């Protein structure tokens, strides 16, 4: 019996971890795909800042979606086919159409995202007016590092005074030394250019770009690296790669 209980506990723990991961993925889907779509296409007519709220339907908080407007609840979590919002944006009913006929229809990709979101249960972390957001509901929510003013800590002292080139190196080296590790050797130019490209723009360098970098490194490695980093930071692909983490 003890063995069976252990197996059951393990299965329950695994299931809990899986559900937690699924929930996080669903929230990420909302933040990356659904919230921007609602802001762009719906808030003008269906938010607290609207001059006139269409159908008394608020789409700027979770409660508004569930409560619905004059026609009833806007969504049925897990059931896109029964959700008025989905039927309206699909224009399945002439009496209930979103957006109105005098405005462009939603892009097909946005419609598909909204259908998928409702199918997932319509997870929505937005607080309703008068409610506390999840962060505010936590006693120490305001103490989260991202809400603190920027500080400049003093760089730590390291045993090796020659390896660090700047204060960032000193922080890194201090952590390595605390674990009795040594910094890795400098990457060869062919490896370094691939790391820089993938880290900064998420793309691989071309054959010609690799060749040009190798030639530049033969003249002056440090200058070649600085020039490459400056060029990648100025590339639109840098914004595309890193902007997606915040959208």
Residue 115 has pLDDT above 60, yes or no: yes
pLDDT (0 to 100) of residue 12:
41
**Long-range contacts (CB closer than 8 Å, 24 or more residues apart) made by 108-115:** 110/37, 110/41, 113/29, 113/33, 113/34, 113/37, 114/34, 114/37, 114/85, 114/86, 114/89, 115/80, 115/86
Q: Tens digits of per-residue pLDDT, 15-72?
A: 444 445 677 888 888 888 888 888 888 887 887 777 777 778 888 888 887 887 888 8
Angle of helix 108-119 relative to helix 2-29, nearest 10 degrees? Answer: 150
User: Residue 59, class by beta-carbon neighbours within 10 Å (0-12 exposed, 13-18 middle, 19+ buried)?
Assistant: buried
The C-alpha atoms of residue 114 and residue 34 are separated, in whole angstroms, by 7
- Write the DSSP assignment of 125-188 as a string of letters: -PPPTTSPPHHHHSTTGGGSGGGSPP--PPPPP-S-SSS-SSHHHHHHHHHHHHTT--PPPPPP
Rg over alpha carbons for the chain, rounded to the nearest Å, is 26
The tokens of 232 are what?
A: 């990648």
The C-alpha atoms of residue 121 and residue 79 are separated, in whole angstroms, by 8
The C-alpha atoms of residue 61 and residue 190 are separated, in whole angstroms, by 50
Beta-bridge partners for 69: 72
- CA 214 vs. chain centroid, Å, equals 35
Domain ranges (residues) in the chain: 30-127, 189-243
Percent of the chain with pLDDT over 70: 83
Q: Around Cβ 246, how many Cβ atoms within 10 Å? A: 7
Q: Tens digits of per-residue pLDDT, 198-211?
A: 999 999 999 999 99
pTM: 0.46
The C-alpha atoms of residue 227 and residue 216 are separated, in whole angstroms, by 10
pLDDT (0 to 100) of residue 146:
67
Question: DSSP label at 34?
Answer: I
Helix (H) or strand (E) holding 68: none
Q: Are 47 and 57 in contact (CB under 8 A)?
A: no
Average pLDDT, the chain: 82
Percent of the chain with pLDDT over 90: 39
Q: Are 97 and 32 in contact (CB under 8 A)?
A: no
Residue 94 has pLDDT above 50, yes or no: yes
Phi, psi for 167 (deg, rounded to 5): -65, -35
pLDDT (0 to 100) of residue 21:
64
């Amino acid at each position: 019996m003890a063995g069976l209980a252990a197996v059951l506990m393990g299965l329950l723990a695994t299931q809990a971890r899986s559900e937690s991961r699924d929930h996080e993925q669903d929230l990420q889907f909302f933040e990356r795909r659904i919230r921007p779509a609602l802001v762009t296409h719906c808030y003008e007519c269906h938010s607290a800042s609207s001059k006139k709220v269409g159908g008394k339907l608020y789409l700027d908080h979770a409660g508004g979606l569930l409560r619905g407007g004059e026609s009833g609840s806007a969504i049925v979590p897990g059931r896109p086919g029964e959700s008025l919002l989905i039927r309206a944006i699909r224009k399945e009913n002439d009496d209930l159409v979103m957006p109105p006929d005098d405005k462009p229809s939603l892009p097909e990709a946005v419609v598909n995202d909204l259908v998928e979101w409702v199918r997932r249960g319509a997870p929505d972390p937005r607080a309703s007016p008068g409610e506390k957001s999840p962060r505010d509901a936590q006693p120490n929510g305001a103490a989260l590092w991202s809400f603190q003013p920027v500080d400049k800590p003093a760089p730590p002292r390291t045993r090796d005074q020659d390896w660090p080139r700047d204060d960032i190196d000193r922080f890194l080296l201090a952590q390595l030394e605390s674990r009795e590790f040594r910094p890795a050797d400098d990457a060869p130019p062919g490896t370094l250019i691939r790391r820089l490209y993938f880290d900064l723009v998420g793309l691989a360098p071309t054959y010609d770009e690799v060749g040009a970098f190798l030639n530049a490194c033969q003249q002056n490695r440090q200058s070649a690296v600085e020039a490459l980093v400056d060029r990648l930071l100025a590339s639109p692909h840098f914004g595309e790669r890193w902007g997606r983490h915040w959208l």
